[in-house]
Each structure stands twice: as structure tokens, then as C-alpha cells.
Amino acid sequence: MNRITHRFFSTTCRTRQQFVLIAKDYSDAEALARRNAVRTSHLDRAASAKKSGRVLMGGATLDSNGNMNGSVLVLDFDSIEDARKWVADDVYVTGKVWETVDLTPFRMAPLPK
């Protein structure tokens, strides 16, 4: 008996790359107030980028008291330069919320849902 196996492969070439962003907030006394002041704008921008496929997931990191003290985002851009430009325009950068930003190439594991 002949067994025929069909394998389907995508014919589209993936040109975009994933990056993980790990940002730490400033730690001065006004840092949390600055974050809260621009948080809605930051989240609106992230939601728009999620709809377009640029942000895959994201959220705040927390200190031991449950206060926000940084962020983690998984991004999908054509290049690290494009990702850096997008990050540089974020209100958490321009509004002095994030003190440090580390952007690293990343590959999400294809885990089942």
C-alpha cells in the first residue's frame, strides 16, 4: 500500500524579526507619577501597534510591593533599527519613564495554545 504524505509549507517569506524589550523605570521620587501621567497614551500606542502586528505582547514589571517599575514587550519589526526608532518615539522614553531600554533579538517558541 502506498502512503502519500502531503506537507504544506508557507510560500511567504518571513522578513520581520522579533525583539524583546526589557525597560527599567527611573527610580526617583516622581518616576511613578510620570509613568501614570502618560500611561494611557503609552497603552493606546501599544494597542494600535498590536493591531498592526508590531507588538506581540507586553506588560509592566513589578517590584516586591506590586508597583510598576519597568516593562517587557515582544516586538515584530523589519529590523532592529526600525524597532529602535519605534521605541525612541514612545512616550515612556520621551516622558522620562524608562531609564534603560534593552532591545534584543528574540524568537518566540511555537507553543500550543
- The structural domains of the chain, ordered by start, are 17-106 (3.30.70.1060)
Distance CA 40, CA 36 (A): 8
Q: 104 pairs with which residues across the strands?
A: 20
Q: For residue 78, count other CB atoms closer than 10 A to its CB.
A: 11
Confidence of residue 82 (pLDDT cuts 50, 70, 90): very high
pLDDT in tens, 46-73: 999 999 999 999 999 999 999 999 999 9
Q: How high is the pLDDT of residue 113?
A: 87
- For the question of whether the overall pTM of this predicted structure is more than 0.75, the answer is yes
How far is CA 28 from each of CA 34, 69, 95, rounded to the nearest angstrom?
10, 11, 14
Q: What is the mean pLDDT of residues 7-27?
A: 78
